[in-house]
């Protein structure tokens, strides 16, 4: 499926005369194979070839015996007429089991019953020699797209899982995405620079993974949650445009589909404002969609955080479909309906063409929204009938004219269904956002083949931790406030907007970043606002603030979640499918059995 995305190499064959000289001398001869198992066509009929690979299966019909030989590139059928073939060949063929590694020399002939299921379906090989290169015990699950292996067993034997084409295609897609990312960024003068993996632990953000230092007993390195400070220092160094496709580590409680180690496309630029960054990385995403999926993406809409929250109740809206929130608060008060009268807000969405929903479906939807995970108290609906009348579950309190106003304000048309939730602003938005997404799903509006990226901008700089009553950086402490909002640092910190942005695709945050603070004084003020004492700020980030004194250029950047981007491009919800050796929900690698205990000796050596 992803063959066309492989690379500039023609990929017709491993041994293409046109491509090979770029990499290897022309007379290079590979011992084990002349062709791959996905390569031979009618034009090769009559040639003598050697193929190597794994035995996908053997069918022995007595007088005829077939071997399906598989490698990364495909499957080729080997056919043996047992009565005519050399005894040795028949004997070897009958010894073969699934997943044996063999090498077959033979001639290419036209296949009698052709198959359009495989690329080599027009030909087959009549062997003159079969060599067993290695035997194999029976694999714990079938090596087929539709395998009988459950998740746990496939992870334990991931190296066998990767033999399956579906998994391999995911890894190929990942490769294509990183190759195209590098191509685009390289073309725009970005330099890939590696930053250290053993760094210093800082309390901001998520929990660090720490590594004990043997040579500095009692002290620990931390694994980077991101290369944030290093990339900023590279800007001070004058690198100007940096990127890195880089592993990051966060020791968080694992929610479904989070990995303790994950990959970012991490980028930083100097002498830029927000617009420059949005344009540059909009370009990257367009490039990826065009090269990998053959899709032209429209210019990305930009939406402020406030609008996203007001219209979608969510800072990562799925804009493949409409159903924006309408505010019915003003027109629903004092009609005797307590539920609305006591609510801070009354919000509505219009489910297009959903008038036909049965009472049972609506009851189910109400139960769904009342589940503790979502926590709505109830749901009011209003049918917009084909004859222009309205029928609501709150009819007792609202007459036809009033319901008509609901229709006007929400923009509902005949045949639509209006759904209404009410309560405290923050919760109601959240619940309505869930309801909108669920209705989008039920109405088939979330087409996985449609991609609707956008930028969300103007995030608040800070959020209040209600337990400690302290301000936290919403993005990170290096994010610059909007210059016009800096004055509010003393008076109204909660209202300060950040020069920060996220890229959202189909309701998933795929990337985010900010323009950074590049003046020492402002950075100090920011740390103060975040409750760092001067000493703490100096101990933890003194190196950065010192660097700012040596001529730090204005700079900013962002990072994309690479695993997430891969799963989105691959049309899957699971990032694990796109990681060669992922960890399970407990953060364990069940194949190598990590994490594991270490010996007392090791502990002693480390001073633990």
Chain residues that interact with ligand ASP, rule: CB under 6 A? 226, 228, 512-514, 557-559
Q: Partners of 74 in the beta sheet?
A: 71
Rounded to a whole number of angstroms, the minimum distance from the CB of residue 135 to ligand ASP is 47
Name the residue nearer to ligand ASP (CB basis): 53 or 557.
Answer: 557
For residue 405, give the nearest of 421, 392, 415 by alpha carbon.
392
State the minimum distance, in angstroms, from the CB of residue 74 to ligand ASP.
Answer: 39
36 or 479, CB closer to ligand ASP?
479
Nearer of residues 34 and 228 to ligand ASP, judged by Cβ: 228
Q: How far is the CB of 520 from ligand ASP (least distance, A)?
A: 19
Residue nearest to ligand ASP (CB): 226
Q: Report the interhelical angle of 425-442 vs 359-370 (nearest 10°).
A: 140
Which are the contacts of 606, defined by CB distance < 8 A and separation ≥ 6? Answer: 212, 213, 214, 217
For residues 314 and 514, which CB has a smaller minimum distance to ligand ASP in the complex? 514
- Output the CA angle 334-337-338, nearest 5 degrees: 95
Work out how close the CB of 476 gets to ligand ASP at its nearest, in angstroms, rounded to a whole number: 6
Nearer residue to ligand ASP within complex by CB, 120 or 228: 228
Which segments within 1-110 are labelled E, that is strand? 48-60, 64-71, 74-81, 101-110
For ligand ASP, give the closer residue by CB, 19 or 508: 508
- What tokens were used for 528? 């103060």
Nearer to ligand ASP, 136 or 206 (CB): 206
Q: How far is the CB of 228 from ligand ASP (least distance, A)?
A: 4
**Shortest Cβ distance from residue 500 to ligand ASP (Å)?**
8
Q: Residues 15-22: contacts with CB within 8 Å, 24+ apart?
A: none
Question: Please, what is the minimum distance in Å from the beta carbon of residue 210 to ligand ASP?
Answer: 19
Q: Minimum CB separation from ligand ASP for residue 297, in Å?
A: 22
**What whole-number distance in Å separates Cα of residue 342 and Cα of residue 377?**
13
Q: Are 135 and 97 in contact (CB under 8 A)?
A: yes
Our CA dihedral for 86, 90, 96, 102, rounded to 10 degrees, sits at 20
Burial 274-303 (b: 16+ CB within 10 A, else e): beebbebbbebbbbbbebbbeeebeebebb
Whole-angstrom CA distances from 173 to 67, 86, 88, 245 are 29, 43, 42, 15
The number of C-alpha atoms within 13 Å of 456 and in the hemisphere containing its C-beta is 29
Cβ closest to ligand ASP, residue 421 vs residue 526: 526
SS3 39: coil
> Cα torsion at 530, 535, 541, 545 (round to 10°)?
100
Q: Which is nearer to ligand ASP, 228 or 355 (CB)?
A: 228
| Nearest partner of 564 among 360, 258, 344, judged by Cα | 258
CB of 531 to ligand ASP, least distance (A): 21
Among residues 149, 160, 100, 131, the alpha carbon closest in space to that of 32 is found at 131
Smallest distance from the beta carbon of 337 to ligand ASP, in angstroms? 44
**Minimum distance from CB of 244 to ligand ASP (Å)?**
11
Helix (H/G/I), strand (E/B), else coil: 332 = helix
Sign of torsion over alpha carbons 88, 89, 95, 100:
positive
């Amino acid at each position: 499926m992803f063959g066309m995305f492989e690379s500039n190499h023609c990929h017709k064959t491993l041994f293409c005369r046109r491509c090979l000289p770029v990499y290897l001398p022309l007379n290079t001869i590979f011992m084990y194979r002349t062709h791959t198992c996905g390569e031979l066509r009618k034009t090769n009929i009559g040639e003598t070839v050697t193929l190597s690979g794994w035995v996908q299966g053997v069918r022995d019909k007595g007088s005829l015996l077939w071997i399906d030989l598989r490698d990364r590139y495909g499957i080729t059928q080997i056919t043996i007429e047992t009565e005519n073939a050399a005894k040795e060949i028949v004997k070897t063929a009958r010894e073969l089991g699934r997943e044996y590694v063999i090498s077959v020399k033979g001639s290419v002939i036209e296949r009698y019953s052709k198959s359009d299921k495989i690329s080599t379906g027009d030909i087959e090989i009549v062997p003159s020699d079969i060599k067993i290169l290695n035997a194999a015990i029976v694999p714990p699950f079938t090596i087929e797209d539709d395998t009988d292996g459950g998740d746990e067993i496939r992870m334990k034997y991931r190296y066998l899982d990767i033999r399956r084409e579906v998994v391999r295609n995911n890894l190929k897609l990942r490769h294509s995405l990183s190759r195209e990312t590098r191509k685009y960024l390289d073309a725009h003068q970005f330099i890939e620079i590696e930053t250290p993996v053993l760094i210093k632990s800082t309390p901001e953000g998520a929990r660090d993974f720490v590594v004990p230092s043997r040579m500095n007993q009692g002290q620990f390195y931390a694994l980077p949650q991101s290369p944030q400070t290093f990339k900023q220092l590279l800007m001070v160094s004058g690198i100007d445009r940096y990127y890195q496709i880089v592993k990051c580590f966060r020791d968080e409680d694992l929610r479904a589909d989070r990995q303790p180690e994950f990959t970012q496309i991490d980028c930083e630029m100097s002498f830029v404002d927000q617009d420059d960054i949005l344009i540059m990385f909009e370009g990257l995403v367009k490039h990826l969609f065009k090269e990998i999926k053959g899709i032209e993406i429209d210019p990305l809409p930009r939406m402020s955080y406030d609008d996203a929250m007001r219209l979608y109740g969510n800072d990562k809206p799925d804009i493949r479909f409409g159903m924006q929130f309408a505010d019915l608060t003003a027109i629903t008060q004092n009609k005797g309906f307590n539920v609305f009268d006591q609510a801070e807000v009354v919000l509505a969405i219009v489910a297009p063409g959903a008038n036909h929903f049965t009472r049972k479906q609506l009851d189910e939807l109400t139960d769904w929204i009342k589940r503790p995970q979502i926590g709505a108290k109830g749901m009011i609906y209003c049918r917009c009938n084909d004859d222009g009348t309205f029928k609501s579950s709150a009819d007792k309190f609202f007459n036809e004219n009033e319901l008509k106003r609901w229709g006007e304000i929400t923009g509902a048309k005949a045949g639509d269904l209006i759904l209404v939730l009410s309560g405290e602003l923050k919760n109601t938005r959240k619940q309505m956002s869930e309801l909108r997404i669920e209705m989008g799903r039920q109405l088939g509006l979330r087409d996985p083949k449609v991609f609707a990226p956008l930028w969300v901008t103007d995030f608040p700089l800070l959020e209040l931790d209600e337990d400690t009553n302290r301000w936290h950086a919403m993005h990170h402490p290096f994010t610059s406030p909007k210059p016009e909002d800096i004055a509010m640092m003393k008076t109204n910190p909660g209202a300060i907007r950040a020069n920060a942005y996220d890229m959202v695709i189909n309701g998933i945050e795929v990337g985010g970043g900010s323009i950074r603070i590049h003046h020492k004084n402002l950075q100090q003020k920011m740390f103060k606002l975040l409750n760092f004492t001067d000493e703490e700020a100096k101990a933890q980030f003194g190196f950065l603030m010192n660097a700012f004194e040596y001529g730090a250029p204005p700079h900013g950047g962002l990072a994309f979640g690479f695993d997430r981007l891969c799963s989105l491009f691959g049309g899957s919800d699971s990032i694990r499918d796109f990681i060669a050796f992922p960890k399970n929900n407990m953060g364990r690698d069940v194949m190598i059995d990590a994490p594991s205990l270490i010996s007392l000796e090791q502990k002693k050596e480390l001073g633990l």
